[in-house]
Every structure is written in C-alpha cells, then in structure tokens.
Amino acid sequence: DLDHFKYINDRYGHPFGDEVIRHAANLLRGNTRSSDSVARLGGEEFLLLLPDTAEQQARSLAEKLRERLEGTPLATQDGVLCLTASFGVASLDGGGQASYEQLYSAADQALYRAKSSGRNRVEVIRLASLAESLR
C-alpha cells in the first residue's frame, strides 16, 4: 500500500498520481521473480503472490521493495517526492494449506498493523494451515 496516496493525488493531481502507480508497478514487477504474481487491487494497493517463498525471504523482499520505493524519488512541480509504502505479509509454513480468503485476510491484518504503527514498514502474520486449524 503506497502511503498517503490521497494526499499525492490531491497535491499533485491525478495524472501525477497515475505516474506514481505506474512507477510503483514497474518497480514491483522489476524486482520479483517470473514465478511471482504482481497485481494492483485498486487505488494504491498492490498484491504480490510469492509461491514457494519462506517467511524470511518474503519479509526481506518486502523490505527491499520498501527501500527501493523510498530510494527512487520522483520529480514534482516543486521538487522531488520520496514514496513510502506499508507492506503486510501473510506467511504459511511449508507444506501448509490455506484458502485465498485466509491468506488475504492475514495480509490485510498485517498491512493494517504496519499502517497503524507509523507506516513505511513491513509487518508479517504467520498462518496456521487449514489442517491445523481444523484440529
């Protein structure tokens, strides 16, 4: 989730906001594997699916992406803008299974935690597999 995107749109206009979205999408796609999926959910929110990725790898990737977004300022009409982003990561231990809804809900909770803790950070929630939750 790009932090303070509404402010960016209000301050610099929707065409610049669109450029910010394109910039973020290109950065995300350019820093993920071909086996990963990058999708825009709407507004300033993106979803990355990282199959066969351990929790620490996912956390490290999210941190790298966060740093790269912040480290590539965009020129504005009155200077430069450094983007910040909040990341929510849902992790499922190897071999575990979870529904899409469970993974999405956990990632959304982690994102909420990142945003409510000051933004521009990565938070992770580890899920129990469906089999474990049914025991």
Active site residues: 44
Measured between alpha carbons, how far is 123 from 59 in angstroms, rounded to an integer? 8
Phi/psi of residue 34, nearest 5 degrees: -65, -25
Torsion on CA atoms 42, 46, 50, 54, rounded to nearest 10: -130
Measured between alpha carbons, how far is 50 from 60 in angstroms, rounded to an integer? 12
Which residues, other chains included, contact 60 with Cβ-Cβ below 8 Å and sequence gap of 6+? none
